[in-house]
Structure 1
Amino acid sequence: MTDLGVRYVSLAPQEDGACTIPSPVRLLGLAANRDAQSSITFPQSPLIDCPLAERLADWLREAVSPLFRARLGSSLKAVATGVGYECRTRNRDPGAKLSAHGLGLALDISAFELSDRQRLRIGLTQDPAAEDALDVVRRSACGWFTTVLGPGSPDALHENHLHLDLQQHGSGAGYRICQ
């Protein structure tokens, strides 16, 4: 992953009952572009599985950062997240299936910070240009992740963050949930 410009700490595989992460990494940051002139940080240092870290790095570098530069005139500087790995069921419902968080295959993003100090919080009313940019970011995620949930999805628990995951759903690898 270092060849992708990702800064991380590798950890030993994690296992807690049904919850397992074969190749866990604590995500610290990544080069914002191929020449590594600037970086994107993860202040919460989420723990996620390596395949999710790679996909996230590509999406942020190839889609999100250029989108913010084009629409808002500022580069992506930091991504505020949840913890990533958490051994729990979906929506913490005792009868539900294991969450993708329990496999290190999910990450929640609550805000993006730009180089001009704008903080774009997911689900909070902002100026129309910021709202439009966040909507395009959410829609772009649908091409990179198998599940994208956020404001406006039928699940009200995702009104203040974007849930991104790589867990396979449905009958095949091409099945996507994008709400």
Structure 2
Amino acid sequence: MSLDMLEKRLWAIAKQVGRFFGEVDGSTMASLIKMGMFKKVSLFDYQAMCKVGHHHGNSARPLLSPFYAVAAILRWILSNALMFLLEFNFCGLWHSDYFVDGHKTKKVDALQPCDTAYPGYMYDSMFVVQQIPDSNLILVVAQADCDCSRQYGPIPLEPKEIKYIL
């Protein structure tokens, strides 16, 4: 294995560390959920902050009367004339400072309190099994506080006699 290939694999692994396993390998996580290794639980956040959704109305004109259209045009002309007079720089007529330093404004998203629900996955297994390399042994680690004998009874290894019928 070349050094470049090893470096690429290490960077790929470093990008995956700390992320949710379902995002890294979704098919394996789905298989573990189906096997019962993980249990899906809903987590609720009652103090979350959500972005404000902007509602845009449609641009269709109401079909009430042509007088509403005439009134809207007159209102638009008056408001534009008033805004022109308000924005007109009367100070500029007797002051010679025409340039102003502009400041960049930071775009701040408006947030509002909201409740959110998101999925979580809880490890729901009483034991872990792993094969020990280069041997025929397996390592079984069981939960110390698990009372597993109530779920399943003991499995005896007593010999049973086999009777052959001739």
- TM-score of the superposed pair, with normalisation by structure 1: 0.20
Higher relative contact order (CA 8 A, sep 6+): 2
Greater fraction helix? 2
Q: Which has the larger radius of gyration?
A: 2
- TM-score of the superposed pair, with normalisation by structure 2: 0.21
Greater fraction strand? 1
